[in-house]
Amino acid sequence: AQSVTQPDIHITVSEGASLELRCNYSYGATPYLFWYVQSPGQGLQLLLKYFSGDTLVQGIKGFEAEFKRSQSSFNLRKPSVHWSDAAEYFCAVGAGDSNYQLIWGAGTKLIIKP
């Protein structure tokens, strides 16, 4: 069955430190991969996406993610976090053209220590 796993429910990082949020997926074909961010009381905002091509993708707010097919992973990274990055982050997998459904991870809540 298709699934997305975000192993960390919470992550605490000091402001200015680097960040890596993990995402693993189980999917039969080449997936479309997404990271979204949700600030408290808000909807989800698309950070970045991978459809094909270069496996290292750049997103908004200084985030990047790397698709590793051999590890079925799409981890999100940022070299130096800011207090405004405190939010919940969701990884999602999509089938592409003929399927409108995304499979969602449970989310990772990022806490920033001053």
Among 14, 58, 80, 101, the residue binding other proteins under the rule CB under 8 A is 101
Residue 104 within binding range of other proteins, rule CB under 8 A: yes
State the nearest-atom distance from the C-beta of 54 to other proteins, in Å: 17
- In the block, residue with structure tokens 């405190």: 86
DSSP secondary structure, 10-69, as one string? EEEEETTS-EEE--EEE-SSPPEEEEEEE-TTS-EEEEEEE-SS-SEEE-GGG-EEEEEG
Name the residue nearer to other proteins (CB basis): 54 or 97.
97
State the nearest-atom distance from the C-beta of 103 to other proteins, in Å: 9
| DSSP code of residue 79 | S
Residues 55-94 that bind other proteins (CB under 8 A): 90, 94
- The mark string for 4-43 relative to other proteins (x by CB under 8 A, - otherwise) is ----------------------------x-x-x----xxx
- b/e 2-18 (16+ beta carbons within 10 angstroms → b): eebebeeeebebeeeee
Could you list the residues that contact other proteins (CB under 8 A)?
A: 32, 34, 36, 41-46, 49, 90, 94-102, 104-107
